Amino acid sequence: SAVISQKPSRDICQRGTSLTIQCQVDSQVTMMFWYRQQPGQSLTLIATANQGSEATYESGFVIDKFPISRPNLTFSTLTVSNMSPEDSSIYLCSGGGLYGYTFGSGTRLTVV
């Protein structure tokens, strides 16, 4: 199965700034996904990243706040824009298909 490298693993950011999280997959995957996870909670899907087209966002998430890039089948970025303390969370990327979805190791974001 694919291996996903996600970085940064953690960051502390000032409110009002932006952070870009990167995920690199060691093989081509059709779909990539971005999730948010509060500590001890389940995963909430932010958006599906499609290559060559705009990402598809879930209810409650908008492109202006969480712009996503998917330039090819092995790479994607998620930007958390104009951050507030409410954006403090763990962000994970995922890729793969029905034979199994691989996840990055997550980015723990703290906004102060």
Binds other proteins by CB under 8 A, chosen from 30, 69, 82, 110: 30
The answer to the question of residue 7 lying near other proteins (CB under 8 A) is no
The answer to the question of residue 78 lying near other proteins (CB under 8 A) is no
Binds other proteins by CB under 8 A, chosen from 22, 77, 88, 105: 105
Two tokens at 101?
């979805």
Place of tokens 């996870």: 37
Region from 60-68, 71-79, 81-89, 104-112 binding other proteins, contact rule CB under 8 A: 104-112
The number of beta carbons lying within 10 Å of the beta carbon of residue 106 is 17
The answer to the question of residue 103 lying near other proteins (CB under 8 A) is yes
Number of residues that bind other proteins (CB under 8 A): 24
The answer to the question of residue 68 lying near other proteins (CB under 8 A) is no
Q: List, as one string, the DSSP characters of 14-73.
A: -TT--EEEEEEESS--SEEEEEEE-TTS-EEEEEEE-TTSPPEEPTT--TTTS-EEEEET
